[in-house]
Structure 1
Amino acid sequence: MTEKTKSEGGIVETIKTIVYALLIAGVFRTIFFQPFWIPSGSMKETLLIGDFLFVNKMAYGYSYASCPSVIIPRLGVDIDAQDICGVFDGDNTRLFGGEPERGDVIVFRHPVSGRDYIKRLIGLPGDKVQMVNGKVVLNGETVPQEPDGAFREVMALQGGQSNRPRCENGPVGMGGVCEKSRNIETLPNGVSYSVLNIAQQQSDNTGIYTVPEGHYFFLGDNRDNSLDSRFARNAGGVGFVPFENLIGRADRVMFSSSGKSMLFFWTWRSDRYFKAI
């Protein structure tokens, strides 16, 4: 065997190894867990910009939305789950489907844009949901909130999008302390979590939303900084989310970085590694 033949054989084996690795990763991501970076502050303080987690796709079964999207704007790559598995779209059903529970933090596919969102499930099919003075009214009963001090963070550019946090004590200069009121909200099934308040605004008081069959109502924990089911899809919100659009449940933060890149090791938040959601 010549050196040239050995070299060509080595290249072929390398390519095969890469292809197999990509196939295995694709199957793993489609069936079991999908990586997800938190790009915005809509779920503070439960989830911070720069948190990295794996979404449990086995929790609710599988639909067309379980197929991964591959979006790399810099390279012009925009392969959507609809492009890969769109043939399974339209009947609002799932394979091995499991019902989500109120209070779950869920990644789902936006019904219009197709982008992945993460919010907390508040309203189940048939529920009547309303916001009154910043509190959730669920089927005619106000969901209780207990004051829990303030959530504080440094006013700084956050994440790859260089977002500036909104502050209840604003305006706050760079490097100053940004504060938001924090309350502990407890749903009827006993699930408790913190919600933040920035200011009185229109979304604190809404009409009554009746959740249709086969759909769900979501809110962000950072209530005054979240485009969620309170807002119509043509206004930037998500409206009611179909069952088939659920991707999976977020259970635990695996890694976290407050910087523009995960390579900036001095911005790593070691206190958030493996933190339960």
Structure 2
Amino acid sequence: MERARVDHETKHEIRAAETGSTGTWASIRETLKVGIQALLIALVVRTLLFQPFNIPSGSLVPTLLIGDYLFVSKYSYGYSKYSLPLSEFIPVKSEGRVWAAEPKRGDIAVFKLPKDNATDYIKRVIGLPGDKIQVIDGVLNINGKPVKRERIADYETIDPYGQATKVPQYMETLPNGVVHRVIERDGDNGFWDKTELYTVPPGHFFMMGDNRDNSTDSRDLANVGYVPFENFVGRAEMIFFSIDEGTPAWQVWNWPAKVRWNRIFNTIH
């Protein structure tokens, strides 16, 4: 009788161990399932809806600053090959867009640099297909007419030597009524303040930075030039985080002093 009781207890312990093992594997499988589902949802959101970007250069100052983190809507212009993550590694050549909606003049948009179809650039849409664009003595001209600009208070910035300085700032009004700020670091005598006359080809767009003397954009035909419609990734919508230039976002202990709290959740115009 004693032996029977021991055997019974041993079997009970074995069943308990097996049940515990099964429960552990079930928990692991459930965790993996949730993780995979979360990754798939994130991939769908990033591919079809919104993609985060950060601003590494000052070409769109004063609108966007180095250290701004923003959401770009992928659906605004429809979808092309370049809407997909790691599109530069996709060997299939594809032209055109699905559910296409052309960018509007004044939009700030992310696009793949035509030179390599891989590097992400962000600039403002200035010229539409067929437009004639020229900069004359610092004044933007579209289709033979100077764009209205009004001098406002100087913009405080840092010069190439790290010294605080003030530069001319203007409110510029594009032909469709979009109003935005631009700065002229070198006044109206910068390298790109007197340009040739550009004619935007069909299916292409002319992009410029708001920091007119510190932006490599469509004025530089050798390095950027006209941007094909299929190269557009999406439209910049909102700043979701912003931190002082030179401060990594992962240094959370610097956030109270370094985060630009007044820029968070600002819409982009």
TM over 0.5: yes
Match of 2:180 among 193, 196, 216: 193
Match of 2:103 among 100, 103, 127: 100
User: Are residues 82 and 272 of structure 1, via their aligned partners in 2, closer, same or farther at CA, if it must alter by over 3 Å?
Assistant: same
Larger radius of gyration, structure 1 or 2? Answer: 2
Match for 2:121: what amino acid? Y
> Which position in structure 2 is the counterpart of 1:160?
none
Match for 1:17: what amino acid? V
CA displacement at 1:112 relative to structure 2: 2.5
TM-score by length of 1: 0.83
Matched residues in 2 for 1:276 and 1:190: separation? 18
Q: Does 1:43 align with 2:34?
A: no
CA displacement at 1:35 relative to structure 2: 0.6
CA displacement at 1:172 relative to structure 2: 5.1
Matched residues in 1 for 2:50 and 2:185: separation? 34
> Which position in structure 2 is the counterpart of 1:20?
37
CA contact (8 A) 1:172 1:178 kept: no
Percent of aligned pairs with the same residue? Answer: 46
CA contact (8 A) 1:64 1:82 kept: no
TM-score by length of 2: 0.85
> Which position in structure 2 is the counterpart of 1:242?
228
Match for 2:122: what amino acid? I
Matched residues in 1 for 2:60 and 2:203: separation? 24
Deviations 1:82-135 (A, max 9, x none): 324x53x442x1111012110111111111331111100000000111111111
> Which position in structure 1 is the counterpart of 2:13?
none
Residues 54-203 of structure 1: pairs in structure 2 closer than 5 A: 54-68=71-85, 80-84=86-90, 86-87=91-92, 89-91=93-95, 93-113=96-116, 114-153=118-157, 155=158, 165-166=159-160, 171=161, 173=163, 177-199=164-186, 200-203=189-192
Task: Note the aligned Cα RMSD (angstroms).
Answer: 1.6
Unpaired segments ≥5 residues, structure 2: 1-17
> Which position in structure 1 is the counterpart of 2:8?
none
> Which position in structure 2 is the counterpart of 1:223?
212
> Which position in structure 2 is the counterpart of 1:211?
200
Match of 1:3 among 14, 20, 28: 20
Match for 1:4: what amino acid? S
Matched residues in 2 for 1:105 and 1:83: separation? 26
User: Which one is further off, 128-137 or 218-227?
Assistant: 128-137
User: Are residues 172 and 55 of structure 1, via their aligned partners in 2, closer, same or farther at CA, if it must alter by over 3 Å?
Assistant: closer
Q: How many residues align?
A: 243
Matched residues in 1 for 2:49 and 2:262: separation? 26
Matched residues in 1 for 2:221 and 2:206: separation? 12
**Tell me, what secondary structure is at the counterpart of 2:155?**
strand
Q: Does 1:253 align with 2:242?
A: no
> Which position in structure 1 is the counterpart of 2:264?
273
Runs of 4+ in 1 over 6 A off after TM superposition: none
Matched residues in 2 for 1:52 and 1:123: separation? 26
**Tell me, what secondary structure is at the counterpart of 2:192?**
helix
CA contact (8 A) 2:204 2:228 kept: yes
